């Protein structure tokens, strides 16, 4: 939920400065209107990814391409914060880790609770993972040994 983004930003600020802040989605309808408003308030850029055909979203590939662009064109960035409960993004997280970048994941507790199966793949691809609880609090889940604080963090929705 867009309502949790200010709290997520507070948590991420403990690890470093977020320099590239993007929200990916199809913003043509009212469903994502809250994200538009919060992006303005928090200084995020919206990356509009309209549907190519009925029933097919182009948001996931746009986020992956955007992440890879950040990885290869911004050498000073030393981390990624991914706010998603979708395990399809685990390879992106793994690629950032392979490049020596710190990876922090944030996802909905209701979807990822237990960290097994597909959910576990996303959680384990991150150095640290935080759950968004039903009351919109952000709760840490220890996934790896303690990591150094990254100086700069990139994040995407």
**Res 134: pLDDT:** 64
- Dump the DSSP string for the chain: -GGGHHHHHHHHHTT-EEEEEEEEE-TTSGGGHHHHHHHHHHTPEEEE---SBTTB-SHHHHHHHHHHHHHHH-TT--EEEEE---GGGHHHHHHHHHTT-EEEEEEEHHHHTT--HHHHHHHHTSSEEEEEPTTS-EEEE--SS--PPPSEEEEE-
**Res 147: pLDDT:** 43
All residue ranges of the chain with pLDDT < 50 are 143-155, 157
**Res 136: pLDDT:** 58
**Res 57: pLDDT:** 78
**Res 77: pLDDT:** 93
Render pLDDT for 92-127 as a digit per residue (tens, 0 to 9).
999 999 999 999 999 887 676 665 666 688 888 999
Buried b vs exposed e over 16-41: b needs ≥16 C-beta within 10 Å? bebebbbbbbebeeeebeebbebbee
What's CA 36's distance to the chain center, in Å? Answer: 16
């Amino acid at each position: 939920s867009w309502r949790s983004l200010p709290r997520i930003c507070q948590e991420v600020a403990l690890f470093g400065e977020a320099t590239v802040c993007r929200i990916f989605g199809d913003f043509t309808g009212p469903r994502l209107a809250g994200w538009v408003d919060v992006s303005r308030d928090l200084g995020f850029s919206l990356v509009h990814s309209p549907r190519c055909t009925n029933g097919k979203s182009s948001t996931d590939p746009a986020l992956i391409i955007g992440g890879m662009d950040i990885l290869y064109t911004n050498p000073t960035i030393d981390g990624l914060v991914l706010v998603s409960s979708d395990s399809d993004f685990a390879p992106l997280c793994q690629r950032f880790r392979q490049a020596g970048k710190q990876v922090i994941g944030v996802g909905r507790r209701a979807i990822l609770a237990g960290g097994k199966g597909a959910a576990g793949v996303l959680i384990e691809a991150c150095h640290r993972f935080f759950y968004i609880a039903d009351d919109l609090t952000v709760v840490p889940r220890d996934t790896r040994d303690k990591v150094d604080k990254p100086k700069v963090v990139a994040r995407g929705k």
